[in-house]
Amino acid sequence: MMKFLSFLVLLILVFVASSSCDQGQKASRTKNKPLKKKMVTVPAFNADSAYYFVEKQVLFGPRVPGTKAHKKCLKWLTGKLQQYSDTVIDQHFKARTYDKMIRNGSNIIASFNPEKKKRILLMSHWDSRPFADHDPDPSKRRTPVDAANDGASGVGVLLEMARQFHLKNPDVGVDIVLFDLEDWGPPADLKMYNEEYWGLGSQYWAKNPHVYGYSARFGILLDMVGASDPVFRKEAYSREYARYYLDKVWGVAQDLGYGDNFVNDDGPAISDDHVFVNEYLKIPSIDIIDLRPESSNGTFFEYWHTTGDNMSVIDKESLKITGTVLLWVVYNE
């Protein structure tokens, strides 16, 4: 009888152990089962539309603050963004330029899904440089530039993105900020470099955001994204302040087949609008900027700050590359 009871107990123990093992294996299989990733339909970026938005700005003439062209372009940009977004604010401000003059500027802020707490910040500057101080012709170095690439290209991409947001609402909140008085730094021959002479509109907005306590998960600045065969290197301040998001955006670009444009090379530090957003608002922000150390100016595309920065340098494919990457980033956030 004792042997029978011992045998029965042994059978029960084996059964319990077997059941526990099976349950553990099932639990392990369930735990390790890959989750199905949510499939998001990303709109196709329309390069023709973006090109039109760039051309429209340039047709006003150089958008130098205080000129008729600037005033007309401000009205058009505001109206276009009102057509696409939930809210638009023209943030008028005054700032002192390097020459001690007080000038009027206007930042333009367009918001999508303003009720959403999870937000993405997209930025560019819409003003034109008053001086073609790097023009090969010395007689033109105080001539205002058309700024087709250095300014209008980034704005054109963001306007097309706004149009797409209007057609297909993203799941996150998005704020597009177009900065003014970005490019009124001193002419190169004056040798008066000071970081704070530049980006006056972004400095003002970062200290006085359109919403009290404004924050965003991350920010992306576009600067000079329209020239043929752009080379976007990983700019140094972007690496310092927002490495995670920098790698994320570059990873999306490479997954889309744009690794020849979004290259894994480290670029120099560029004192651009994103610096002030990082420092004052503490929003991790990156700069997508065409960096070409082989050019005659040693840093940017060949016609930077010259009278040659006109519509002839704008390539629809370059606008499409930048816009497509950004749409994929936003809609998959």
What distance, in Å, lies between the first and last C-alpha atoms of the chain? 69
CA atoms within 13 A on the CB side of 197: 15
Q: Which residue did the predictor score with more confidence, 26 or 292?
A: 292
Average pLDDT in the 100-119 region? Answer: 98
Where does residue 11 rank: exposed (0-12), middle (13-18), buried (19+ CB within 10 A)?
A: exposed
Whole-number pLDDT of residue 210: 96
Average pLDDT over residues 67-93: 98
Q: What is the pTM of this model?
A: 0.88
Q: What is the pLDDT of residues 131-140, one digit of tens each?
A: 999 999 999 9
Q: Does residue 285 have a pLDDT over 90?
A: yes
Please determine, for residue 7, whether its predicted confidence score (pLDDT) is greater than 70.
no
pLDDT at 249 over 60: yes
Q: What does the domain layout of the chain look like in residue ranges?
A: 47-331
pLDDT of residue 241: 98
Q: What per-residue confidence (pLDDT) applies to 141?
A: 98
Q: 200 pLDDT exceeds 80?
A: yes
Asked whether residue 211 carries a pLDDT value surpassing 90, the answer given is: yes
Give backbone dihedrals phi and psi of 296, rounded to 5 degrees, phi first. Answer: -65, -25
The SS3 call for residue 285 is strand
| pLDDT at residue 114 is higher than 90 | yes
Q: Does pLDDT of 20 surpass 80?
A: no
- The answer to whether residue 115 scores a pLDDT higher than 70 is yes
In whole angstroms, give the CA distance from residue 14 to residue 33: 28
Residue bearing tokens 């004192």: 271
Assess whether pLDDT exceeds 70 at residue 18. no
Q: Does the pLDDT at position 15 exceed 90?
A: no
Q: Which pLDDT belongs to residue 40?
A: 85
pLDDT of residue 23 exceeding 80, the answer is no
pLDDT band of residue 217 (cuts 50, 70, 90) is very high
How far apart, in whole angstroms, are the C-alpha atoms of residue 238 and residue 321? 20
Mean pLDDT value of segment 276-290 = 98
DSSP SS3 for 134: coil
Helix (H, G, I), strand (E, B) or coil at 298: coil
Q: Confirm or reject CATH 3.40.630.10 for domain 47-331, answering yes or no.
A: yes
β-pair type (173-179, 102-112):
antiparallel
pLDDT above 90 coverage of the chain, percent: 87
For the chain, percent of residues with pLDDT exceeding 70: 88
Phi-psi category of 105—alpha, beta or left, where left has phi over 0 and alpha has psi -120 to 50? Answer: beta
Instruction: Grade residue 39 by pLDDT with cuts at 50, 70 and 90.
Output: low
Decide: residue 4, CB within 10 A, 0-12 exposed, 13-18 middle, 19+ buried: exposed
- DSSP annotation of 311 reads G
The DSSP secondary-structure symbol of 187 reads P
Helices (H) and strands (E) in the chain, counts: 8, 8
Other Cβ atoms closer than 10 A to 147: 26
Q: What is the mean pLDDT of residues 49-56?
A: 98
- For residue 129, give the nearest of 216, 197, 195, 192 by alpha carbon: 197
> Quick one: pLDDT band at residue 193, thresholds 50, 70, 90?
confident
Residues 264-270 have a mean pLDDT of 97
Contact (CB, 8 A) for 173 and 114: yes
> Three-state DSSP class for 251?
helix
| pLDDT, the chain, mean | 91
